[in-house]
Amino acid sequence: MGALRTALRFLAGGALDLLYPWRCLVCGAIDDPARVPGLCPACARELPWRFAAPCSAGEPAPSPLEVGRDRFVAVVLAFRFAPPVDELVYQLKYGGERAAALPLAFALAESAKLARLAQRPDLLVPVPMHWLKRIGRGLDHAELLAEGVGRALRVPVAARALARVRATTAQGQARSAAERVAQVRSAFRLRRRRAVRGRHVGLVDDVVTSGATAAACAQALLRGGARAVTLLAAAGNG
């Protein structure tokens, strides 16, 4: 029976490959995938890691946060926001490509391991989308990232602990850090106080610009009783 199961799995995998052949998420190449899921070796080599080496000990680049740095005990960013990472973020955030979360979550989990945090988070909370935007896009990109990182690090995810109670414009449209802070003031509310009370929370997002959104979320978590907050983002400026 064991040999039969193996043969059936092999045949099923071959059939799926014929129906849905593997292609690199960035360039569409059909080469063998790299260690970074979803990417071919050529695109994986182009990844702008913020660590000196992607899968070995290294020191993180300085934090790009303009505001709110004091609300985090640590900041972990996997990549600089540059090609081909910007393409993956665009696919995930605006193109509805769920698979694009795989390489970003993998890299973020690897970076969290390399960061030599004094203490790893014991709970992950994604930066929430407004419910109307979630319906329009059909997915929550930060939630997908948090789930992927949670699986890799074996850390539970409280996907609905935070809520965005006020719709906000894209942070990139604000011209200054002060404007970005104003845009997200009182935009987030803690819905599951019991889930975060006394916990070290890892706040997960796709891209950090000034840090205003992350800082507003961290403030809500800390006011709700979180012991500490670490920021985990797939990419950041600088």
pLDDT digits (tens, 9 = 90+) for 116-141: 888 889 999 999 987 677 777 778 99
pLDDT digits (tens, 9 = 90+) for 77-100: 999 999 999 999 999 999 889 999
| The pLDDT of residue 29 | 93
In this model, does residue 230 exceed pLDDT 80?
A: yes
For residue 56, what pLDDT is reported?
Answer: 38
Domain definitions of the chain by residue range: 48-236
pLDDT at residue 167, as a whole number:
65
Residue 109 has pLDDT above 80, yes or no: yes
pLDDT digits (tens, 9 = 90+) for 161-189: 998 877 665 545 455 667 766 677 767 88
Per-residue pLDDT for 10 more than 50? no
CATH 3.30.450 fits 48-236, yes or no: no
Q: Determine the Cα–Cα distance for residues 4 and 7; give it in Å rounded to an integer.
A: 5
* Mean pLDDT across 46-57: 63
Q: Are 200 and 231 in contact (CB under 8 A)?
A: no
Q: Structure pTM?
A: 0.83
The CB density around residue 14, as the number of other CB atoms within 10 Å, is 10
The residue with tokens 């680049």 is 61
What is the mean pLDDT of the segment spanning 229-236?
Answer: 95
For the ranges 59-68, 83-92, 188-197, the one whose mean pLDDT is highest: 83-92
pLDDT band of residue 17 (cuts 50, 70, 90) is very low
- In the predicted model, is pLDDT for residue 54 greater than 90? no
